[in-house]
Structure 1
Amino acid sequence: MSTRSTPRSTLSSTAPAAVRRRALDGLPEIDRPTEVSTTDAQALSTALFTRLESLEEGTPEHAYVRNTLVELNLSLVKFAARRFRNRAEPTEDIVQVGTIGLIKAIDRFEVGRDVEFSAFALPTIVGEMKRFFRDTSWSVQVPRRLQELRIELAKAVDTLEQRLGRRPSRAELAAYLHIGEESVAEGEQASNGYVARSLDTPTSDDDSALTAGARRLGEEERAFELIDSLESLKPLIAGLDARDRTILALRFGEELTQAEIGERLGLSQMHISRLLARILDELRTGLVEDHDSPRRAAAG
């Protein structure tokens, strides 16, 4: 990672006092941006983004405000990195790469958009991490087509296993992806080119066969694809019953495994798996209907 660099947590504080005063133009100076609470960081970021738009790019003042925004929002990078905590790559490297994504998001963000910066930035941060894994995680050269097929297979296995309650056959995978069984076999072989992990690596008891393999290959929790719509999810989650909200909080707040959640609630791991799949499907459906409703109203 020697070729990649990211701002140090104290970078904004190294700016001369005169530059800080001109940059902030009356806004309060933040002594320790990385220690600010999430709620305060959101409010401060909004004000700083407004100020950033009025500053000329390339000036010391612009750089100071930009660096402060990076430090204020580093918690987003750390949050995104947690889902990849079982990867072989050092966490420090993942955070550095994610910080590059954060900087890109800051440069592209527009205050006038009706969206919180966290919801806007997380997909960019995660995308930067995924590109890093894609470029570094293959122990032998594998064509991009097969790399992408491996990812699609991992997703299909996870979906079908939850639907069927067992490991899907090669024929079932082929039918689900609308490809030939030969292509499925080719994709499975491509997985052998991925960085190997020790067979002694412990697995949680909710890691069954191919699903466990998918997680080790970098497959992320299906729910994280909903991160783009954090604001839209809030009322949908509020409409869930208490048990469903508890399951979501345990899985994505406390990051418990399905088996650990089952122990808390007195349910089997398979039951928790099915409940999670149902809850996520309901949230996705709710998002689609919510996004479609303005278009239906306009058409009417």
Structure 2
Amino acid sequence: MRTTPASAKHHPHDDAPDTADAFRRLAELPDGPERDALRDEIVEAWLPMAQRLAGRFRSRGESYDDLRQVAALGLVKAVDRYDPARGNAFESYAVPTVTGEIKRHFRDHLWTLHVPRRVQDLRNRVRIAVQELSAGVQGAGAGASGRQPSVAEIAEYADMSEEDVRAGLEALESFSALSLDAELPGSEDGYSLSDALGSADPALDTVVDREAVKPGLAALPERERAILYMRFFRDMTQSRIAEQLGISQMHVSRLISRSCDRVREEVMRGAA
């Protein structure tokens, strides 16, 4: 049986390549074909590690091929930004860089609608707490029935308020939007979400106008207010108004025109 010497360097990744010399040479080379070729060799050497990191996120609704591409992009950024003079192993710098790139991909590209960063953070905290609590509960035998941790348990474990936990739980299922035309669950008559939405009241368009003319109308003589009311609210013709008031239709026409001009001037003064 072979044993590993105590002095052997341990890597979390079994096939972690030894690229320390390559990074030192890369830092000394000027821009050009030779440097580009060495950079590509380093990236290729560490690519298996990046792909394994991508594999940790396979169950989150994104294709593995896309995750591998994102991880490769993160690896390239890590290679370009790594400074061997700092004395830290490349792996300790590359792992969080690649992981961060993958997480940014989820945050920026997989949400159909823009979700506030705070809600995304709550979602991640709740997801991790649920996973760890579920494993702990099942390990203790209490989760034999598949019981998920309660809101209170998650809140206590993750040091969150129950309100934030509920927001995080809702966000767990909120990567994609539901079409308004989609049939609601349990509906047998094609009833969709759009059928439950109200529509704008056409009368809302006239609210501002009505409020604007109120002072001008109040300043008119009583007979002129009555004429405008009959004409525009009761939809009476000028001849019928004239007959009801005992005046000529021409006089009614002049009063309507004069009253409208006065109200318009009052509104314009108020808007100035």
Compare the two structures and name the one with the higher helix fraction.
Answer: 1
RMSD, aligned CA: 2.4
Residue type at the aligned position of 1:54: E
Match of 1:51 among 1, 18, 25: 25
Cα distance, 1:178 vs structure 2: 3.7
Opposite residue 101 of structure 1, the aligned amino acid is G
Instruction: Provide the residue aligned with 1:278 in structure 2.
Output: none
Partner Cα distance (2:159, 2:108) in 1 = 27
**Does structure 2 retain, via aligned residues, the 8 Å contact 1:150–1:187?**
yes
Q: Given the alignment of the two structures, is residue 119 of structure 1 paired with residue 99 of structure 2, yes or no?
A: no
The one-letter amino acid of 1:132's match is H
Q: Could you say if the C-alpha distance between residues 130 and 52 of structure 1 is closer, same or farther in structure 2, counting changes exceeding 3 Å? A: same
Counterpart residue number, 2:156: 175
- What is the deviation of 1:55? 1.0
- Within a 5 Å distance, the mapping from 1:119-268 to structure 2 comes to 119-164=92-137, 165-166=142-143, 167-195=148-176
Q: How does 1:73-112 map to 2 (within 5 A)?
A: 73-112=46-85
CA contact (8 A) 1:52 1:66 kept: yes
Q: CA deviation at 1:85?
A: 2.6
Contact 1:141–1:193 (CA under 8 A) maintained in structure 2: no
Counterpart CA distance in 2 for 1:71 and 1:179 is 42
- % identical aligned pairs: 39
2: CA distance, partners of 1:128 / 1:75? 16
- More deviation, 99-108/182-191: 182-191
Q: Per-residue deviation at 1:113?
A: 4.5
Task: Give 1 or 2 for the bigger CA radius of gyration.
Answer: 2
Give the drift of 1:74. 1.2
1:4-83 maps to which residues of 2 (within 5 A)? 42-43=17-18, 45-56=19-30, 58-83=31-56
**Residues 53 and 98, structure 2, Cα contact 8 Å, conserved in 1:** yes
Paired residues, number: 156
Work out whether residues 127 and 172 of structure 2, in 8 Å CA contact, stay in contact via their aligned partners in 1.
no
Q: What do residues 204-225 of structure 1 show as CA deviations (whole Å, max 9, x unaligned)? A: xxxxxxxxxxxxxxxxxxxxxx
Unaligned residue ranges in structure 2 (runs of 5+)? 1-13, 178-272
Aligned equivalents of 1:63 and 1:124: distance in 2? 21
Which amino acid in structure 2 is aligned with residue 176 of structure 1? Answer: Y
Residues 161 and 168 of structure 1 are in contact (CA less than 8 Å); yes or no, is this contact kept in structure 2? Answer: yes
1:101 CA displacement: 1.0
CA deviation profile, 1:22-69 (whole Å, cap 9, x unmatched): xxxxxxxxxxxxxxxx76x723x222111111112x322222211221
1:171-224 Cα offsets, whole Å, 9 max, x none, are 22223334332222222222231249xxxxxxxxxxxxxxxxxxxxxxxxxxxx
- Cα deviation, residue 129, structure 1: 0.9
Q: Do the aligned partners of residues 115 and 42 (structure 1) sit closer, same or farther apart at CA in structure 2, a change above 3 Å counting?
A: farther
Is contact 1:157–1:168 with CA below 8 Å preserved after alignment? yes
Q: Distance in 2 between matches of 1:85 and 1:180?
A: 29
Higher relative contact order (CA 8 A, sep 6+): 1
CA displacement, residues 226-279 of structure 1 (integer Å, 9 cap, x when unaligned): xxxxxxxxxxxxxxxxxxxxxxxxxxxxxxxxxxxxxxxxxxxxxxxxxxxxxx
Residue 202 of structure 2 corresponds to none
* Counterparts of 1:180 and 1:84, CA distance in 2: 27
Which TM-score applies when normalising by structure 2?
0.51
> C-alpha separation between the residues in 1 aligned to 2:52 and 2:172?
27
The unaligned stretches of length 5 or more in structure 1 are 1-37, 197-300
